[in-house]
Amino acid sequence: MSEGVEWALHTCVNLAWVGRPVGSARLAAFYGLPPAYLNKRLQNLVRAGILTSVPGPKGGFALARDPASISLLDVVTAIEGPDPAFRCTGILGDSPWGDKTADHPSTCAIAAAMRRAELAWRRELAGQTIADVCATVERRAPGEPERTRRWFG
């Protein structure tokens, strides 16, 4: 998984706290990230409907919806794409009695087992939201939202 996932998740948490548009250079400066690379990841989040890009002098990136309706799976999928980690290429179809026309990703016992694991991973990520992460941090560090808002000015 690319570093972009870590950047995107942390940036969504910051935007949830700040509550108004912030430019990508400022978002990048918070962690000392390369602005152009972060900007590309933020564009991925805009295309996925997680962020909006607000034009104008007070513009920037902002959450497009309630942080309680943005799951970690939404963010990971926006950055990494929807493909599963394990891709069945259907090598069973190339075996001596293989049927190349069969739908191996659906029928192969190995593909099914790998898919069950992938679903367990997705289910876990789908059950956790940006709001959940914010709440966890705020329990440990109640001043974090205010401190973050102040820094972003």
As a residue count, the chain comes to 153
Window 106 to 145, contacts with a copy of itself (CB under 8 A):
109-110, 112-114, 116-118, 120-125, 128, 132-133, 136-137
DSSP code string of 33-90: --HHHHHHHHHHHHHTTSEEEE-STT-EEEESS-GGG-BHHHHHHHHH-S--SS----
144 contact partners, CB below 8 Å, separation of at least 6: 17, 137, 138
Contact 5, 125 (CB under 8 A): no
Considering the complex, state which of residue 95 and residue 101 has its C-beta at the smaller distance from a copy of itself: 95
Considering the complex, state which of residue 55 and residue 101 has its C-beta at the smaller distance from a copy of itself: 101
Interaction mask 44-83, a copy of itself, x per CB under 8 A: ----------------------------x-----------
Q: Residues binding a copy of itself: what is the number (CB under 8 A)?
A: 45
Can you read off the two tokens belonging to residue 135? 């709440």
Q: Determine if 36 is a binding residue for a copy of itself (CB under 8 A).
A: no
Q: Which residues bind a copy of itself (CB under 8 A)?
A: 1, 3, 5-7, 9-10, 13, 30-33, 72, 85-89, 91-92, 94-97, 109-110, 112-114, 116-118, 120-125, 128, 132-133, 136-137, 147, 151
